[in-house]
A and B are shown apart, each in its own frame.
Chain A
């Protein structure tokens, strides 16, 4: 085996590994705590000292998805045996389920707006990125910088005129309005990232296709798009995560029909200090992003720096 002077010694590796693992475990603790709290009963959740070992229950999840009303013991016994497992959980507290909560709707709004704006921003972004990558566009650098600079504005600063504009156009609190808005915000990311990915595809492939008699458009759809597929997919995930997590615009511009989950989840706590329900709502909302992050790990650096740093 060859020995290199620059290779860390086994002891150095061991020390470094231990420190990093220790940091990772500490940093993971709040996230594990969210997930664990979702499976606690309300009394276990606020126990002192904090409970690490507890009896798991789905109460938090039942409370998250339902609204409940309290009933007198007489009225309860008149109802007979609870029909389902979730009825049984609610009955322990002398309550019955009176209907679904808003959480399902809000979650669905997040999905619709997230996917809608992701599709639009990746679609438009791919077209623009291709043009910036392959053609001579007048003022190209200025246009690219302009696209990036749209990210420097604080969302609240842009929110004032957008609030007025949406009110005038009837887009306030609509899915379409939010999709357009998030697309506008995401475009800078998608153009910059996709330009980087397309730049890496050799021009020779398209030249060959053009010589074979393809039109420019055919060369784009049949040669470039398949080559850029991984880049497009990871850009899409970044856009999706951004729209999914966005809070400032959502809280200012939506209230009812188009409200997404981030402004809604904190309001769950409003009545009754029900932390397990909040944690359950947060868990369902955060876990998909964690999964996506693990899938994305190879392109993560690129995505968070707008393509400025490529590994």
Chain B
């Protein structure tokens, strides 16, 4: 035991003896240090997860605790997979996910590329650009409903000014065709800096010597960009996509404040849909099954993606 626990410390016999007398063994310290964290994570994350799985097999309703609990087996799961509402919200989530990722990667990478030109004051401007992503999505989302107001909103005014359209002629969050884009715009505004920061780290990690060698070989700038810059920044870009993908799959606060899932249920992302089932319709068992499906989806997709990411890194 002592061999293993003291392996990182090159101890001499007297020190080991002294420590045995005066203090706890390393293994004891390690467990005392880790145990509270693991305990809290089990209580706040794993225990609830197991409970969710259990509830998902019942018809439990949290607002009627006196009713008899009935085991329904996998019937909840079966119903969910055949529920058109849920497929609609899956579609809304896919649209949101796809477009936010595309826009954020394009704009974020371009910004990082420009910042990497090291113009004077680039640090200061980077910090300014980063501000939106650190703010409370709910509070910011709520204020964006004001910016999106047809007549008086700043967004409509600016768009009207640039395109010549009448600012009161369109309503970003009231129109079925525009609402899915209204949430994409705000999310892109808020989170592009995240992708930008990670890309910037990627670009800065490329050593100058590679470009110098390419110059010697008379490779064009265009060619350098596609054969050096992109491949070397790719693992970073993929990491950014992973983080944003998971976050936006879980998206709740921003969109709930912005559109509340409306108009109708056109922007009802899965988390908002789940909240309705669980805390408005109080179909706790059904919602639990839904939650399990979402978790498995996110976990599964993320695992596959991480495998791909590791392959790119190895190359």
Contact = CB atoms under 8 A, between A and B. Distances in A.
A231 interface: no
B281 interface: no
Interface in A161-199: 161-165, 180-181, 183-185, 187-188, 191
A279 B40 CA distance: 37
B119 A13 contact: yes
Interface in B122-180: 122-123, 125-140, 142-144, 146-147, 149, 151-154, 157, 167
Given A12-B117, A248-B252, A248-B253, A164 B51 contact: yes
B18 A286 contact: no
Contact of A152 (B122, B152, B298): B298
A300 B150 CA distance: 36
B240 to A, nearest CB: 8
A101 B142 CA distance: 19
Given A152-B299, A266-B138, A217 B23 contact: yes
Contact of A30 (B18, B147, B236): B147
B311 interface: no
A48 B149 CA distance: 11
Interface string A17-34: 101110110011111011
Interface size class of A (residues with CB under 8 A): 35 or more
B278 A128 contact: no
B146 A153 contact: no
A116 B167 CA distance: 46
Contact of A185 (B37, B44, B246): B44
B128 A262 contact: no
Contacts of A128: 33-34, 36-38
Interface stretch (A1-9, A53-61, A89-97): A1-9
B130 A157 contact: no
A contacts with B: majority SS:
helix
A49 B157 contact: yes
B310 interface: no
B154 A29 contact: yes
Contacts of A233: none
A20 B200 CA distance: 13
Interface in B2-32: 4-5, 7-12, 15, 18-19, 22-24, 26-27, 29-32
Contacts of A24: 125, 128-129
A217 B33 CA distance: 10
B295 A132 contact: no
B257 A266 contact: yes
Nearest to A301: B197
Contact of B10 (A131, A162, A207): A207
A244 B111 contact: no
B52 A31 contact: no
Contacts of A218: 23
Contact of A17 (B7, B119, B132): B119
B125 A31 contact: no
B135 A124 contact: no
B20 to A, nearest CB: 10
A245 interface: yes
A266 B215 contact: no
The size bracket of the interface on B is 35 or more
Nearest to A136: B4
Contact of B134 (A132, A210, A289): A289
A20 B33 contact: no
Interface stretch (B67-75, B78-86, B96-104, B284-292): B284-292
19 contacts: A17-B125, A48-B157, A50-B152, A127-B36, A137-B30, A154-B271, A158-B45, A160-B288, A161-B48, A161-B52, A184-B41, A203-B8, A213-B18, A265-B139, A266-B257, A269-B142, A278-B146, A286-B135, A294-B127
Interface of B: 4-5, 7-12, 15, 18-19, 22-24, 26-27, 29-34, 36-38, 40-41, 43-49, 51-52, 55, 62, 111, 114-115, 117-123, 125-140, 142-144, 146-147, 149, 151-154, 157, 167, 189, 192-194, 197-198, 201, 204, 208, 211-212, 215, 236, 239, 243, 246, 249-250, 252-253, 256-257, 270-271, 274-275, 278-279, 284, 287-288, 291-292, 294-295, 298-299, 302
Given A160-B291, A161-B47, 13 more contacts: A17-B114, A27-B189, A150-B44, A153-B250, A161-B55, A162-B48, A163-B62, A165-B48, A213-B18, A217-B23, A244-B136, A245-B135, A304-B133
Interface of A: 4-6, 8, 12-14, 16-17, 19-21, 23-24, 27-31, 33-34, 37, 45-50, 124-125, 127-128, 130-132, 134-137, 143, 146-147, 149-165, 180-181, 183-185, 187-188, 191, 203, 206-207, 210-211, 213, 215-218, 220, 241, 244-245, 247-248, 251-252, 261-263, 265-266, 269, 275, 278-279, 282, 285-286, 289-290, 292-294, 297, 300-301, 304-305, 308-309, 311
